[in-house]
Amino acid sequence: MKNTHTDFLVLGSGMAGLVFALRVASLGKVTILTKKRSVDSNTNYAQGGIAAVLGPDDDYEHHIRDTIQCGEGLCDEDAVRVIVERGPELIRELAEMGVRFSHTKGTFDLGREGGHSRRRIVHAKDTTGREVERALLYAIRRHPDIELLEYHLAVDLIRTGQGEVWGVEAIDLSTGRHRTYLARYTLLATGGAGKVYTYTTNPDIASGDGVAMAYRAGARLANLEFVQFHPTCLYHPRIKSFLISEAVRGEGAILRTLDGNAFMTGYHKMKDLAPRDSVARAIDNEMKTRGDRHVHLDLSAIKPARIRSRFPNIYRTCSRLGIDITKEPIPVVPAAHYMCGGVITDGEGRTNLPRLYACGEVAHTGVHGANRLASNSLLEALVYAVAAAESVARRFEKGRFPRRTTRRQSRKLRQSEKLEIRHNWDLIRTLMWDYVGIVRSTDRLKRARRELNIIQKGIDGALTRYALSADLVELRNIALVGSLIIRSALRRKESRGLQYLQDFPRKSRRFQRNTVVYSRKLD
């Protein structure tokens, strides 16, 4: 089978990957691989918006201060300053290319979310990610030098003896065939790993593929213990993974127990607009203390017309389920939402592996620290995708590709093999939810590590017995990412940001540093 050659290979079709692709397409051929449909990305599910200094009462220093305060002492201030100062200009560029942001009286309609001291959330009603994705994909499909291949699952990065990355091995899910894509530069933009947990706001694609591939190739990763749980995921038996945007609380909604108590007043001085880690732990504590399965989000302080105009998607979705949110509260629970750690990059999106870049949720730039400030994620993805493209443009030159052949074979799995994979998938996600969730303890983390080690040995055996299929690839990835989260959490013997460890309930100056992990087998 012939290898496919391209100048730039992008893994993932969210904002980071698409922005990068558009920026480098003038230099050479770009190939984008996405394992499902092109719109199946974390970007597409982002409701809230993009944080940026665009209001008359706002400035860079306020946004930087809010971000660093939320990050609990682990933000890289230089990285934060970069996204804050470059963001407004790039958001205006998105608007110029056709992203239909919400406006009021001729200016951006700015919302407010938890942890922000000003209204600075640029949005497209409550479907911001979907609107950004629409505009970017429209531009991608019109570009003659960009090829977007759906249903292509990256399996492993191709790494030379010198540590350079020259593309990936992948599976064409439409045919089951294995393919090799050689590229002069490869960008990881694969999103996060929410599917490592039972309850998540993420789409099914979020199985940590980029983090797992990068680790196996020898990339350095940081702060994987900091998994952000969004406080308000819709609790309903007929729908899964539906996020209730933090912007709803920004407009005045209040969290209440089932008997009507507004409990956030007892947990944080910012009450319902506290940072996400504080709100998620408060909800978790109220549910466990009272024995309730969920709490209520009360929108009665917001005018019905404003609810329908500002949150049309949330209003329609809840209405279809028989919940009129202009008259009754929304049942909500916390759910795994965002990885604040990831593949370590510098200010240009470069990893420690030559020719490999990373942007978006898969990357660790230093912006988020121990807890991400709401709506900084799309901002970070946008700014660092542009920075990575600029970096590549300064280095790009034609040259020979290394020789590479694909030897792996594929076949359809038997039903018994599928059941074994599905069983282990469910075991891992339940294990992570029960023992490595919002509130942790050293004993529970160690138990999770022991049980996951057993599961991983079984997966290693399956890799020798079965052909490499999409199901087996994703199972291998969530098992590895889960084990790296546990490993990182055990090394941080303190409670900081998104890591709350019951037997170490306070922050420690000793751990005011990043938790770095990498594969020692490749040293």
Per-residue pLDDT of the chain (523 residues; tens, 9 = 90+): 468 999 999 999 999 999 999 999 999 999 999 998 755 565 655 667 999 999 999 999 999 999 999 999 999 999 999 999 999 999 999 999 999 999 988 899 999 888 899 999 999 987 888 899 999 999 999 999 999 999 999 999 999 888 899 999 999 999 888 899 999 999 999 999 999 998 888 888 899 999 999 999 999 999 999 999 999 999 998 887 788 988 899 899 999 999 999 999 999 999 999 988 889 999 999 998 999 999 999 999 999 999 999 999 999 999 999 999 999 999 999 999 999 999 999 999 999 999 999 999 999 999 999 999 989 999 999 999 999 999 999 998 877 787 765 444 445 556 556 677 788 889 999 999 999 999 999 999 999 999 999 999 988 888 877 778 888 999 999 999 999 999 999 999 999 999 999 999 999 999 999 999 999 766 5
| 26/145 same-domain check | yes
CATH number at residue 272: 3.90.700.10
d(CA 340, CA 338): 6
d(CA 394, CA 62): 33
Residue 403 domain-assigned (yes or no): no
**Who's near 335: CB < 8 A, 6+ residues apart?**
194, 197, 199, 200, 201, 229, 230, 233, 241
Q: Which of 185, 217, 202, 214 is nearest to 21 (CA)?
A: 185
| 206/234 same-domain check | no
Residue 323, token pair as written in the block: 């919940």
Residue 512, token pair as written in the block: 């005011």
Residue 405 domain-assigned (yes or no): no
From residue 328, how far is each of 159, 375, 381, 429 by CA, in Å? 55, 27, 36, 32
0.85 surpassed by pTM: yes
Structural domain total, the chain: 3
Q: If you search the block for the tokens 């920075």, which residue do you land on?
A: 387
CB < 8 Å & 24+ apart, contacts of 448-456: 448/482, 448/486, 449/483, 449/486, 449/487, 449/490, 451/427, 452/428, 452/479, 452/482, 452/483, 452/486, 453/483, 455/424, 455/427, 455/428, 455/431, 455/479, 456/480, 456/483
Residue 171 CB neighbours (<10 A): 22
What's the half-sphere exposure (Cβ side, CA atoms, 13 Å) at 149? 20
What's the half-sphere exposure (Cβ side, CA atoms, 13 Å) at 68? 14
- Which SS3 state, helix, strand or coil, does residue 304 take? helix
| 195/101 same-domain check | yes
d(CA 267, CA 282): 7
Which of 290, 310, 335 marks a domain boundary?
A: 335
Q: Which of 41, 48, 51 is nearest to 16 (CA)?
A: 41
Domain that holds residue 163: 4-226+340-395
Active site residues: 276
Pairing of strands 177-188, 165-172: antiparallel
| 177/31 same-domain check | yes
Q: Reading across the β-sheet that carries 227-234, which strands appear in turn?
A: 227-234, 330-339, 295-298, 254-256
| 17/71 same-domain check | yes
| 234/219 same-domain check | no
| 243/148 same-domain check | no
| 367/440 same-domain check | no
Q: If you search the block for the tokens 């542009």, which residue do you land on?
A: 386
Q: Which of 114, 9, 119 is nearest to 55 (CA)?
A: 119
| 87/219 same-domain check | yes
Angle, CA 373 vertex, CA 368 and CA 374 arms, to 5°: 130
| 57/159 same-domain check | yes
| 211/236 same-domain check | no
| 133/247 same-domain check | no
Pairing of strands 121-122, 50-51: antiparallel
d(CA 283, CA 235): 13
d(CA 58, CA 171): 48
Residue 131 CB neighbours (<10 A): 21
